[in-house]
Structure 1
Amino acid sequence: MRRLDRWLVVIGLFIATGCLGFLSSRHVWTSDWTRGARASLAPESVAVLSRLPGTVDVVGYLSPTGPLREQTAAVIERYSREKHDLKLSFVDPDLDPAASRQLGISGNGALLIRYKGREERVESPINERNLSNALERLARGGERIVAFVTGDGERQADGVANADLGTFMQQMERRGMRAVPLNFGQTQGVPEHTDLVVLASPAAALTPQAAGALVDYVHGGGNLLWLTEPGNADLGTGALADVLGVRVLPGVLVDGQGSTLNVKDPRIIVASDYPFHAITRAFRDTTLFPQTSALAQVSDHDWAVVPFLRSSDRSWTAFGGIDNDKPSTIAFHPETGELKGPLDFGFALNRLSPSPDKSEQRAIIIGDGDFLSNTYVGNGGNRALGERIFNWLLGDDVLVDLPARGAPDRVITVSQDGLNALTFGFLVALPVLLIACGGFIAWRRRRR
């Protein structure tokens, strides 16, 4: 009878184990016991996911070699726990380099998040902060109106010529931006509900009406992106420069640092190290800027002006003509007034908005517009930098403010008195105690 009872207990245990195994394959239960739930999404990220009904596709353009795919999958798994229709797939960018360049995927790889016909790209580092901000931009929906000034030979937002911005803006339109032309010869000012105005390298002098409308727009609190070029300082933009508190320096910025990257024309500025700013935070891609003007800040102005693009210490402003056949023969001539680098050629400006409807006004001026043109936008990190610039100007740089959730025991804070006590205890008291114990044990053994 007892044997039968034992066999029944064993059979019952096997049945219970099988049932548990079957249930575990059908139902998943996860518990996060870490301090502050560091292994799970922050409540802010969960709130963003709740605003995205429907399927979200995440495509990782990452090489199968190395740890990036595994690390990315671990981050996405946290999102999949909260949103079961968030799907992750991987593509090897080396198998289709042309498509990767068209999508603006850099050498470090990236994630493309697609939702209801729109998409956002997440560059390295791929973490919860960057992912949640990209998802928030998708969740916001709606179009952001970006007006491009036309009528004075500016770069066209929908143009296919080499100097136009059509390729870049097609990518940005898939992210919820709509480019519209703005001709001040046909309108009295900037229309309402315009989120950003772009003045992209005018080839002719601005009319007094256009220059006045832009100045009024900035005075009213509007956000502005101004792309200028060498020789464009006298094209009716002096009043706009006065409002922004910047100056376009004469000459063409040249830099010998590009020769280390096999760029033989010193007029092409190669940037790989950037001053700290929200636009360039964790940005490590190399960018190319052909035909660039250096910029200077005017003191005593109400703007907070921060440089985020800067040439190397081997650069200078060249005044004389450059032989196109032998551009590398150019030399620095300080006696003519040429300025030695490093020199700034990209400024980010912000201040309290004069408009009661906005809290902050932002503007950017860059001494080159070619880096976003159809010819150069696919080089290095040009496209990614352009996207960061537009996101910052539109206030989309940080949408989800995630609190720091580091492990509380990673850093031990010890006062100087405590450190002295630990030092005395381990270096003096503990050795003396061990020696005393050893001596006492030896004395006891001798007495026996």
Structure 2
Amino acid sequence: MRTLFKRLDGWLFALLLLLAAGAIGYLSTRYAHEADWTANGRTSLSAESRAVLAQLNGPVEIVSYANPQGDLRQAVAGFLQRYQAVKPDLSLRFVDPQLDPAKMRELGITVDGALILHYQNREQRLDELSERSLTNALEKLIRGNDRVVAFVTGDGERRADGQANADLGTFMTQLEGRGMRAVPLNFAQVPAVPEHTDLVVLASPSLALPPGAVQALVGYVQNGGNLLWLTEPSNDDLGLNPLATALGIRVLPGVLVDGSGTALGLHDPRLIALGDYPPQAITRGFTLATLFPQVSALAQVTQGGWAVKSFLRSSAQSWTEFHPIDNNKPSDIRFDATSGELKGPLDFGFALSRLSPSPDKSEQRAVVIGDGDFLSNTFLGNGGNRALGERVFDWLLGDDKLVDLPPRGAPDRLLVISQTELDMVSVSFMIVLPLLLLLIGGLIVWRRRRR
């Protein structure tokens, strides 16, 4: 009888196991679940792409001009499934480019598999199938037309297309992919800022601006134009006092130094590192560390109708250093209140806004930062410098929906180890691990024989 019950238990367990397997198989055909266990979910849509999709209010249609032969259509559909899982009203339609060659020439379709994105009577063409390019195209659809950003040139400013260490070429190339177009503005050739300019950037001039150029900038601000002014430590105002007066701010003399940087491994006190920011729309939710190499402190003098908010501020251990700094011994400096040096915390980034004097816009915005190096080709890759710069430009252009996007980036995919560490890993896998397995196997055999 006992043997019969054991057999029944065994058959019942087998039956329940088969029923469970059948139930799992049935449920798997009705419901789908995906799990991404890679670092930072690298095979899933990034947080930035998800945030961009969340800003699209309405359906998006993507037309793929892919040849039906081959696997290209399947690859396109599989790639877009990740976007459709987040935004169900993103639709995909295929068109055979061979059926109407004349229409393809009219549309400028030259690449098999080219995409055209349609959203709210706007469209973007895409010839490269990658998450970065597609997300950039969706950002452009949100932004609308390309934003014209005019960079003042002719007086030693940082170049928007330059590849020198101090220029902004790398940063602006990335912004152009997001729907901004940089153009030069030389007041020796034009008397005023051209119409349809969305933003003027004065990036760290090294020479005094002609009075006519300064007056053109002042007139642009007084008429409601948006401005980004990147200034640098200098004993000379470069003739820009009228512009500072129009904004109600003052560039303080001296170089801002910070004695707390040694705790972060910064041996040059002129390097200002920030990880905490005053609350403002640009820095809302921003937690990345940023690095500023040469900084001028700023002060608000008058309001002049502006709402002025600081969003960059040094620590309490900082001050404005007036004395020359020896590059060989930069730490040999001391705060000297008798010479007029100011003790921190000190502001070096202001965001200004007011009702626009122009009837075409409701609000005018300006940003003044006491450093331009943080966006240069040399320092752009430090911490959150690029992400902060993108936030500044988005806010100035009025694209508030894009200001809070998560910062771009990808986890490190390279393992960097020294030769000694590599030798240790090799010995561990080739010698130590096999010996350990042999030892464990020997112990198991020995214990069995003792029984």
Q: What is the TM-score when the length of structure 1 is the normalising length?
A: 0.64
1:361-414 Cα distance to aligned partner (Å, 9 max, x none): 00000000000001101111100000000000001122699xxxxxxxxxxxxx
Measured at CA, do residues 260 and 330 of structure 1 come closer, stay the same or move farther in structure 2, by a change above 3 Å? same
Per-residue deviation, 1:54: 4.4
Q: Whole-Å Cα distance in 1 between the matches of residues 403 and 157 of structure 2?
A: 35
**Aligned match for 1:53, one of 58, 62, 78:** 62
Count matched residues: 315
Please state whether the residue corresponding to 1:48 is helix, strand or coil: coil
Query: How do 1:91-102 residues align onto structure 2 when only pairs under 5 Å count?
Result: none
1:77 to partner: Cα distance: 7.2
Give 1:279's match in structure 2, choosing from 274, 278, 282: 282
Q: Partner of 1:158: helix, strand, or coil?
A: coil
Q: Map of 1:88-127 to 2, 5 A cutoff? A: 116=126
1:165 alignment partner, one of 152, 164, 168: 168
Alignment of 1:21-32 (within 5 A): 24=30
Cα deviation for residue 188 of structure 1 reads: 1.1
- Measured in 1, the distance between the counterparts of 2:213 and 2:154 equals 9
2:86 corresponding residue in structure 1: 79
Stretches of structure 2 that go unaligned for 5 or more consecutive residues are 1-22, 33-49, 65-81, 94-123, 405-451
Task: State the shift of 1:237 in Å.
Answer: 0.4
Encode CA deviations 1:84-119: one digit per residue, 9 max, x unaligned: 559xxxxxxxxxxxxxxxxxxxxxxxxxxx983699
Matched-pair contact (CA < 8 Å) for 2:143–2:399? no
Look up the SS of the partner of 2:155 in the other structure.
coil
Residue 241 of structure 2 is matched in structure 1 by 238
Alpha-carbon distance between aligned partners in 2 of 1:120 and 1:351, rounded to the nearest angstrom: 37
* Deviation string, structure 1 residues 62-96 (Cα, Å, up to 9, x no partner): xxxxxxxxxxxxx977624332559xxxxxxxxxx
Distance 2:402 2:205 in 1: 33
1:293 corresponds, among 292, 296, 308, to: 296
- The separation in 1 between residues aligned to 2:197 and 2:232, in whole angstroms, is 25
2:428 is matched with which residue?
none
Matched-pair contact (CA < 8 Å) for 1:311–1:341: yes
Change (3 A) 1:352 1:338: same
Q: Supply the distance in 2 between the matched residues of 1:22 and 1:267 (Cα, whole angstroms).
A: 60
Identify the residue that residue 337 of structure 1 maps to in structure 2.
340
Counterpart of 1:62?
Answer: none
C-alpha distance in 2 between matches for 1:317 and 1:175: 37
SS of the residue 1:380 aligns to: coil
Counterpart secondary structure, 1:296: strand
Q: 2:99 maps to which residue?
A: none
Q: Which amino acid aligns with 1:382?
A: N
Is there any run of 5+ residues in structure 1 with no aligned partner, and where?
1-16, 27-40, 56-74, 87-113, 122-131, 402-448
After superposition, give the CA deviation of every residue in 1:206-255 in whole Å (9 maximum; x if it has no partner): 00110010000001100000000000651010000000000000000000
Matches within 5 A, 1:152-301: 152-231=155-234, 233-301=236-304
Q: Aligned runs of 1:401-440 on 2, under 5 Å?
A: none
Aligned to 2:414: none
Show CA shifts across 1:319-344 (max 9, x none).
00011101011110111110000000
Q: What is the CA–CA distance in structure 1 between the aligned matches of 2:308 and 2:136, rounded to whole Å? A: 25
CA distance in 2, matches of 1:120, 1:269: 34
CA distance in 2, matches of 1:348, 1:316: 22
Question: What is the letter of the counterpart of residue 50 of structure 1?
Answer: P
For residues 319 and 55 of structure 2, the distance between their equivalents in structure 1, rounded to whole angstroms, comes to 50
Aligned with 1:381 (options 379, 384, 387): 384
Per-residue deviation, 1:256:
1.3
State the Cα RMSD in Å: 3.4
Q: For residue 107 of structure 1, what is the aligned residue in structure 2?
A: none
CA apart distance, 1:174: 0.7
CA contact (8 A) 1:133 1:399 kept: no
Inter-CA distance 324–138: structure 2 relative to 1 (3 Å threshold) = same
* Alpha-carbon distance between aligned partners in 1 of 2:403 and 2:255, rounded to the nearest angstrom: 40
Residue 317 of structure 1 is matched in structure 2 by 320
Paired with 1:369 and 1:217, the residues of 2 have a C-alpha distance of 21
CA distance 1:25–1:313, shift in 2 (3 Å) = closer
How many percent identity over aligned positions? Answer: 63
* 1:168 positional shift: 0.5
